[in-house]
């Protein structure tokens, strides 16, 4: 067969069709996965001290096989005084005794790999704990022979200030957790900078030694077999060396007598400084050094920012950085703002500005954000799982979302989260305790999380006794967990969910809906609809989807409904009715329309070629 003909046919086909069959290479395993975030203190306690640990996690790994999750990410388990529950690391290369030992970690990773699971760790490069050996040495003195002298960001009191030196902070910068970023160190007689708690001094990335040390940390965990890293608080890595004040945020209204809050300033000097991209590129080199078939090392960066500020963390085709920065758009939805249009805005923000060749991702909750059940209400827990798992790209799910866990209420005097404790005027707004309550496994005491005779570190939500637990839901065909499993399976088996093709269908105040076209020649596609309104809505999706490329039939079949009560129902596409809070996934067998039919002969030629042994993947490994 003539090679030129094949090439022309392929080109026409690619132009006319938005997608081709997706087949992920070994470097792309993370595109075909669900990332499940484990908050280790709250997942499973094995030794009865009321706090989760590594052995506990290992004992639960088979659960992930059962529910169709194949990547887990652990929030920090490193040695830590736990001022910020592990995000204050005192030894980047060891495990905190509360979680177990390095041997427990080795066992965890081996067991995970044997079960076909990937394991990601948290990497916290911006700061260490004040109890890290580097900081203990650094704060001793500023002598040139102190090798740790410049490991942190030190600064003299402000010149010209007439107050005692410890009151003369170098500038107006404010920490994320409130109050000045500067803390006086009496021994060294200087201030050190902390963008989070004072117990979390920022590392100094203007010191090459710090780069070297942190690269060793990455290597250490890769040598242990870790499959990827979630990089914490990346936008805070560098501060402007001129150390000038940051501009006041005119939209912020200060509360009299309250310590300065992060939002009171515009962070031109302390966030998203361009030089941090060089560091990520440098790290990417290490990830590459440790990537050989079949083990690609995956990187996701974390910062809370606008989508425009986040997208640069993807890097460029020539200089890749993270595989993706977390997209927190959907976590910003609130009950007040929820509408079909608002969801559309959040989805479109990411999709329309996504750099060429890059892969989208979604998050609906994590350990820093109120659970979806709190923000939107329990009514939307299932619909949001449908969005998270069926929008194009990789979803991250936070433990308990699959069983629609709800937050807990903890009074101020029992609050654990330092962010809340340090800001008593805002504590209910800031506290992250509610979303960190223990995982609900069954209806035995402490929901099967712990065998302690005392208290668990945070209380368990009582609703574990009324069906919000894994054991009850795993056998219930209509449960949230059954829905989650069905969605996980769809992602794996249907090519429509393996490309980044997305076409919006009907979008209005009430409805957000989109269409995922088949990624292969079967054209078996899916329509996903969410009703955010207070009443049912009946709409004509057939007309909304019809175009030159494809003919949309009159009927479709509900593949899965959020209530798991309409699965298998036939629906007329020109009048699909969706209840308030409901979401539907409708299977639609489209066929070629006018434009696509021009390319039909080419597709037949290509199919014949494929049968004759010409592997299309060699020409176009993955069209996204």
Q: Could you list the residues that contact Mg ion (CB under 5 A)?
A: 45, 47, 49, 51, 53
The DSSP code sequence of 328-392 is -GGGG--TTT-SHHHHHHHHHHHHHHPPTT---EEES-BTTB--HHHHT-GGGHHHHHHHHHHSS
Q: Burial letters for 466-500: b for 16+ Cβ neighbours within 10 Å, e otherwise?
A: ebbbbbbbbeeeebbbbbbbbbbebbeebbbbbbb
140 binds ligand NOJ (CB under 6 A): no
**Which one of 84, 104, 272, 582 is in contact with ligand NOJ (CB under 6 A)?**
84
232 binds ligand NOJ (CB under 6 A): yes
Q: Output 418 or 581, the one with its CB closest to ligand NOJ.
A: 418
Q: Rule CB under 6 A: which of 341-380 touch ligand NOJ?
A: 367-368
Q: How far is the CB of 144 from Mg ion (least distance, A)?
A: 45
514 token code pair: 């989109």
Residues 184, 165 contacting (CB under 8 angstroms): yes
**Which one of 43, 64, 78, 87 is in contact with ligand NOJ (CB under 6 A)?**
87
**In terms of Cα–Cα distance, which of 452, 456, 461 is closest to 416?**
456
Q: Output 51 or 181, the one with its CB closest to Mg ion.
A: 51
Q: How far is the CB of 367 from ligand NOJ (least distance, A)?
A: 6
Q: How far is the CB of 57 from Mg ion (least distance, A)?
A: 11
Q: How far is the CB of 131 from Mg ion (least distance, A)?
A: 21
77 binds ligand NOJ (CB under 6 A): no
Q: Output 51 or 588, the one with its CB closest to Mg ion.
A: 51
Contacted by 47, from Mg ion, ligand NOJ, none: CB < 5 to 8 Å by type:
Mg ion
Q: Output 86 or 533, the one with its CB closest to Mg ion.
A: 86
Residues 6+ apart with CB under 8 A from 142: 149, 154, 188, 190
Q: Output 131 or 368, the one with its CB closest to ligand NOJ.
A: 368
Angle between the 594-611 and 3-16 helix axes, to the nearest 10 degrees?
Answer: 140
Contacted by 512, from ligand NOJ, Mg ion, none: CB < 5 to 8 Å by type:
none
Of all residues in the shown chain, the one whose CB is closest to ligand NOJ is 87
Q: Output 290 or 398, the one with its CB closest to ligand NOJ.
A: 398
Q: Output 45 or 323, the one with its CB closest to Mg ion.
A: 45
399 binds ligand NOJ (CB under 6 A): no
Q: Output 131 or 140, the one with its CB closest to ligand NOJ.
A: 131
68 token code pair: 């169709």
199 binds ligand NOJ (CB under 6 A): no
Q: How far is the CB of 100 from Mg ion (least distance, A)?
A: 8
305 binds ligand NOJ (CB under 6 A): no
**In terms of Cα–Cα distance, which of 403, 507, 400, 514 is closest to 458?**
400
Q: Output 87 or 464, the one with its CB closest to ligand NOJ.
A: 87
Contacted by 53, from Mg ion, ligand NOJ, none: CB < 5 to 8 Å by type:
Mg ion
Residues 6+ apart with CB under 8 A from 613: none
Contacted by 87, from Mg ion, ligand NOJ, none: CB < 5 to 8 Å by type:
ligand NOJ
Chain-centre distance of CA 28, in angstroms?
17
Pairing of strands 118-123, 71-74: parallel
Q: Output 134 or 196, the one with its CB closest to ligand NOJ.
A: 196
Q: How far is the CB of 384 from ligand NOJ (least distance, A)?
A: 20
196 binds ligand NOJ (CB under 6 A): yes
Q: How far is the CB of 140 from ligand NOJ (least distance, A)?
A: 25
Q: How far is the CB of 454 from Mg ion (least distance, A)?
A: 12
Whole-angstrom distance, CA of residue 406 vs CA of residue 437: 9
Whole-angstrom distance, CA of residue 431 vs CA of residue 334: 17
Q: Output 417 or 472, the one with its CB closest to ligand NOJ.
A: 417
Q: How far is the CB of 416 from ligand NOJ (least distance, A)?
A: 12
311 token code pair: 């997208």
233 binds ligand NOJ (CB under 6 A): yes
Whole-angstrom distance, CA of residue 227 vs CA of residue 193: 32
357: left (phi over 0), alpha (psi -120 to 50) or beta: left
Residues 205, 238 contacting (CB under 8 angstroms): yes
Q: How far is the CB of 389 from Mg ion (least distance, A)?
A: 31
Residues 24, 294 contacting (CB under 8 angstroms): no
Q: How far is the CB of 145 from ligand NOJ (least distance, A)?
A: 31
DSSP 37: E
- The residue length of the chain stands at 624
Contacted by 238, from ligand NOJ, Mg ion, none: CB < 5 to 8 Å by type:
none
Residues 229, 122 contacting (CB under 8 angstroms): yes
Contacted by 520, from ligand NOJ, Mg ion, none: CB < 5 to 8 Å by type:
none
Contacted by 196, from Mg ion, ligand NOJ, none: CB < 5 to 8 Å by type:
ligand NOJ
Contacted by 45, from ligand NOJ, Mg ion, none: CB < 5 to 8 Å by type:
Mg ion
Q: Rule CB under 6 A: which of 107-126 touch ligand NOJ?
A: 124
**In terms of Cα–Cα distance, which of 361, 382, 381 is closest to 302?**
361
Q: How far is the CB of 581 from Mg ion (least distance, A)?
A: 38
Contacted by 51, from Mg ion, ligand NOJ, none: CB < 5 to 8 Å by type:
Mg ion
Q: How far is the CB of 329 from ligand NOJ (least distance, A)?
A: 17
Backbone angles phi, psi at 346, to 5 degrees: -65, -40
Residues 6+ apart with CB under 8 A from 160: none
* Long-range contacts at 608-611 (CB < 8 A, ≥ 24 apart): 609/1, 609/6
Of all residues in the shown chain, the one whose CB is closest to Mg ion is 53
38 binds ligand NOJ (CB under 6 A): no
What SS3 string covers 433-472? CHHHCCCCCCCCHHHHCCCCCCCCCCCCCHHHHHCCCHHH
Q: How far is the CB of 349 from ligand NOJ (least distance, A)?
A: 21
3-state percent breakdown (helix, strand, coil) of the chain, nearest 5: 35, 15, 50
- Give the interface with ligand NOJ as residue ranges (CB under 6 A): 84, 87, 124, 196, 232-233, 367-368
């Amino acid at each position: 067969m003539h090679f030129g003909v094949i090439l022309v046919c392929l080109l026409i086909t690619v132009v006319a069709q938005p997608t081709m069959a997706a087949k992920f290479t070994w470097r792309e395993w993370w595109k075909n996965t669900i990332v499940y975030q484990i908050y280790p203190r709250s997942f499973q306690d094995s030794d009865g001290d009321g706090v989760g640990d590594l052995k506990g996690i290992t004992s639960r790994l088979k659960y992930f096989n059962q529910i169709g999750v194949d990547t887990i990410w652990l929030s920090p388990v490193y040695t830590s005084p736990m001022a910020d529950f592990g995000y204050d690391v005192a030894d980047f290369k060891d495990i905190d005794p509360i979680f177990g030992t390095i041997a427990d970690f080795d066992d965890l990773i081996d067991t995970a790999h044997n079960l076909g699971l990937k394991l990601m760790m948290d990497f916290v490069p911006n700061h260490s704990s004040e109890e890290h050996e580097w900081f203990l040495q650094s704060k001793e003195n500023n002598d040139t022979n102190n090798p740790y002298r410049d490991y942190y960001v030190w600064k003299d009191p402000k010149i010209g200030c007439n107050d005692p030196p410890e009151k003369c902070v170098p500038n107006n910068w404010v920490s994320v957790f409130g109050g000045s970023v500067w803390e006086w160190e009496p021994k060294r007689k200087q201030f050190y900078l902390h963008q989070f708690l004072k117990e979390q001094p920022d590392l100094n990335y203007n010191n090459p030694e710090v780069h070297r040390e942190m690269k060793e940390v990455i290597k250490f965990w890769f040598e242990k077999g870790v499959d990827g890293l979630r990089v914490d608080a990346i936008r805070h890595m560098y501060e402007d060396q001129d150390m000038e004040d940051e501009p006041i945020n005119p939209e912020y209204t200060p509360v009299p007598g309250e310590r300065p809050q992060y939002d009171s300033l515009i962070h031109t000097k302390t966030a998203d400084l361009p030089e941090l991209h060089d560091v990520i590129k440098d790290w990417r080199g290490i990830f590459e050094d440790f990537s050989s078939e079949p083990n690609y090392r995956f990187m996701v960066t974390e910062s809370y920012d606008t989508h425009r500020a986040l997208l640069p963390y993807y890097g460029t085709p020539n200089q890749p950085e993270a595989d993706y920065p977390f997209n927190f758009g959907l976590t910003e939805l609130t009950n007040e703002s929820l509408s079909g249009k608002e969801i559309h805005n959040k989805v479109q923000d990411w999709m329309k500005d996504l750099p060429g060749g890059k892969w989208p991702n979604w998050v609906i909750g994590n350990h820093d954000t109120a659970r979806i059940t709190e923000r939107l209400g329990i009514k939307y827990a299932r619909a949001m799982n449908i969005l998270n798992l069926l929008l194009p790209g990789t979803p991250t799910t936070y433990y308990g979302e699959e069983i629609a866990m709800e937050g807990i209420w903890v009074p101020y005097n029992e609050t654990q989260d330092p962010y809340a404790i340090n800001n008593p005027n805002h504590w209910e707004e800031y506290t992250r305790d509610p979303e960190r309550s223990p995982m609900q496994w069954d209806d035995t005491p402490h929901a099967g999380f712990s065998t302690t005779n005392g208290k668990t570190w945070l209380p368990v939500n009582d609703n574990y006794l009324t069906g919000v637990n894994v054991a009850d839901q795993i056998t219930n065909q209509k449960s949230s967990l059954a829905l989650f499993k069905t969605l996980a399976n769809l992602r794996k088996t249907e090519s429509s969910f393996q490309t980044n093709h997305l076409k919006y269908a009907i979008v209005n105040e009430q409805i957000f809906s989109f269409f995922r076209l088949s990624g292969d020649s079967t054209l078996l596609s899916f329509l996903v609809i969410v009703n955010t309104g207070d009443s049912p809505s009946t709409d004509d999706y057939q007309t909304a989807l019809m175009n030159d490329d494809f003919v949309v039939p009159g009927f479709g079949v509900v593949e899965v409904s959020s209530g798991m009560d309409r699965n298998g129902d036939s629906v007329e596409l020109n009048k699909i009715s969706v209840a308030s809070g409901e979401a539907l996934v409708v299977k639609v067998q489209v066929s070629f329309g006018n434009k696509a039919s021009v390319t039909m002969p080419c597709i037949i030629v290509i199919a014949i070629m494929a049968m004759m042994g010409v592997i299309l993947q060699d020409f176009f490994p993955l069209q996204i």
